[in-house]
Structure 1
Amino acid sequence: MKRKMMAFIAGAGLVVGLAACGGGGDNDKKDGGETTSAGAEKIYAQNCASCHGENLEGVSGPKLADVGSRLSKDDILKTIENGAAGMPPNIISGDDADKVATWLAEKK
């Protein structure tokens, strides 16, 4: 019985040790191990894509594929927070709004 318990503990320690070493050089990662842009894309898909399109092409809302060439990150964030013609305010808020604004500002 002791031998089985020791083998189990050793195996569990090995799994935890290997998991801690995994991953590697992606410096763009934030909370939960998800990249910042991937997190922003997920938030966008869940909250914005129905009006602005899955590919930022615009549907009932305006096209956002090149929004960064027209608006700064702060302007985009203000639009998210305050809304715009036909867009209600605060569909996303806080850190999520900041992530999406940063991501959209890169679209030029």
Structure 2
Amino acid sequence: MKTILYFSIMTLVSLPALAARTDCPAAKVLSIQIEGQKVMYQQEGASWRTLGFLNKDDGTKERYSALLTAQATGKKVMIGYSVDNYDCSAANYGTAAHVLRTYNQ
């Protein structure tokens, strides 16, 4: 019984950390750059940011594909980072994105 109570409490304590995320404003993609294994991008009104690293199996290749499609079709994308206090207005050369959402607008 103590074990179940312990795991229940630990789950509740860790849930806020799992939910931490910052979604940067949706905008069109101006530029994409591959530097070694790092994929960088720049959106309208924003500095360069890191999308992810191609040598990691964390969804970067899939996000890169969606980013290329959005750039080619002139669609807006929202890119989110799994950091609660991520600064979308600052240049980012290290933190990889967590989510990419495309828009039909």
Q: What band does the TM-score fall into relative to the shorter chain?
A: under 0.3
Higher RCO, Cα 8 Å, sep 6+: 2
From the two aligned structures, give the one with the greater strand fraction.
2
If the length of structure 1 is used for normalisation, what is the TM-score?
0.26
From the two aligned structures, give the one with the greater helix fraction.
1
**Structure label with greater radius of gyration:** 1
